[in-house]
Amino acid sequence: MLFFAFDRLPVELILMIFQYLPGNDIFLSFLNTSFYINNILKSYNKYSLNFISSTRENFDYILSNIEFNKIISLTLSNGELTGGQFNLFLSKYSSSFYLFNNLYSLTLHCIQMKKTEYIQLIEAFKQFQNLRLLYLNQISLIDIDDCFISAFNQLNSHCLIKLNNCEQLNISSLSNKLQYWKSNCFNFYRQQWACLRAIQLKDLSRTSLNHLLHLTPQLISLIIECEIDKNTSSPNFRLVPNLKQLIFSCQNLTFHYLIVEIGLDTLSKLKHLQIKCNTSTDELIFNGDQWKIFLSQSFSYLIKFDFYFKYSYKKNLSLNTFRTQFWLEDKKWFVALCHCQYSNNLELFTVPCFNTTIKLSQSIIDTTSPSFEYLSSNIHRFDNSYLIDKNNNYDVLLDSHRYEYIETLDIIIQNKFDSISCWIVDYKQILDLLEYMPNVFKIILNSWPKKDSWLQIKKGNSRINSIELPALHKTNDNQLPSGLKPIFSHLFPSIKHIYMYVHYPELCYQLDKYTLPWKNLSSLQIKYFFSNNITEDEDEKNRYNIWKEIFLNEILSIQSQRDFTFTDADNKLNIWFGEIIENEDKFQNNNQIEKVFCY
């Protein structure tokens, strides 16, 4: 190892830098840079590892080089990009659970758990006796009768729990453990929840909001995603005086409603307030001076305030009351006014919070935003369906701006079956459009561009690492689309993640070692669309199982020459690729290729 610039820094300074970096980045960036740094890495004992979007190569590399007792936080996932990761972790490291004796936080993400994995997890909880926080995100159970009660019982008495969309889990025993809860259905068993600090509600139809607030007096954060309509009793926020974050939507907003009916002005500790209202007849709601008086008198600690209001009057609305020192200098809260996309009404909203699409951004008629970059900083996805310019004048279409915050480019391509008029028809136009979006890493193609249009491309785009392909349909010649291979060989050579929709699954049998970039792939997701409901049609279900068996064991393992794990959920295979297997003799025996199954 050569001399490394960090070798000149004292240990204390390097450890201070590590505190601001993810554990994955620390290991991947600094390991084997010098003997001095390696010694510091060995002594560092506060690694936080998050494998939600990790490649299998990095997953294996980090866990094979780190000492488990140096890990304080661990996140495992069976999500789209890491199918089978959780099951692989259990199979490889279950005998080493006792070494995770300093694990403080554990997050499990997007996992369908069967009885085998559940038993292993219970054993892990028995040995993770220093665990202080368990976060379960989108966990479902298969053939497990006790609804996770046995697993919860193994946790030490000091461990707090966060749950996000885990409807099958029984929470009746967690009154002194549950800290965060987000779900579609709520059953709070009429007991006090002393530790519950944050709730996110998706549906109020089966929940008495005030009853819920009465059971959670120490609540700090409340997010109500659905609208509080006339059929829902008005919430009484006086029941939760310690709230620091409140997000809600309502109908016919007035200051009388905010103060008298729901007691918003009593939340003196509030730091983040967000209000959305689709209809309002109170003109004071659209007056910045009136909001200044209300906010200044009620909320001394308020840092973030966002709103979205629809203005139903036809007369123009001035933003002058939002251009005062209070809004622009003291608080740095900025607003925008635009024409409603679906009516003649006006929309008044804070930016960048509610300015989430280019279509909305280009309909803005007035704003107090200090710059275009700030105004568009919350636009992360671009949809080209509304851009109509057959001359391909990109400067006109995009107002000569660069959209540096956009990460996903969603391309709709015009063909004779489309009702949408769109000017993008070939790959050159897609690559030209990417020049205005320097940080895009994912492309979604809703249909195939013009045949052979890739031939006019001299240089591809190496920034794109993820692509969602158009659906594979049965054609007259029963062949894969001719434009499939050039996407990876010529246009986007750095693709690591591929998402495919399959209407005719047997087309996948034609995937050979040259069709997809097997050596570079980290994940492959294949969504199988059925002609009938698979849960009701046994023939369709059998067809799917036969196809899956052939594809995984006879096609994928041989053509990719990679070991892999996968999950199979909701008619979709999420495949996570491991190391390349160089010895071709191994492919004569499929059992030698490592696969971890999760249904």
Range 193-212 average pLDDT? 84
The answer as to whether 556 is a domain residue is yes
The answer as to whether 545 is a domain residue is yes
Q: State residue 569's pLDDT score.
A: 84
The answer as to whether 515 is a domain residue is yes
The answer as to whether 408 is a domain residue is no
Q: State residue 6's pLDDT score.
A: 85
pLDDT tens, 48-99?
Answer: 999 999 999 999 999 999 999 999 999 999 999 999 999 999 999 999 999 9
Range 199-224 average pLDDT? 86
The answer as to whether 396 is a domain residue is no
3-state secondary structure of 412: coil
The answer as to whether 566 is a domain residue is yes
Please give the residue range of the domain that contains residue 516: 448-577
Cα torsion through 437, 442, 445, 450, rounded to 10:
60
3-state secondary structure of 300: coil
Range 437-447 average pLDDT? 91
Percent of the chain residues past pLDDT 90, beyond the cut: 53
Burial class (CB in 10 A: 0-12, 13-18, 19+), 5: exposed
Range 6-25 average pLDDT? 92
- The CA radius of gyration of the chain, in Å to the nearest whole number, is 27
Query: Does 587 score more than 50 pLDDT?
Result: no
Q: At what angle do helices 23-30 and 35-43 cross, to 10 degrees?
A: 160
The model scores a pTM over 0.85:
yes
Whether the CB-CB separation of 309 and 335 falls below 8 Å is answered with no
The answer as to whether 61 is a domain residue is no
The answer as to whether 77 is a domain residue is no
Q: pLDDT: is 391 or 207 the higher one?
A: 207
Distance CA 425, CA 427 (A): 7
Structural domains of the chain, count: 1
Q: State residue 162's pLDDT score.
A: 95
Range 282-286 average pLDDT? 87
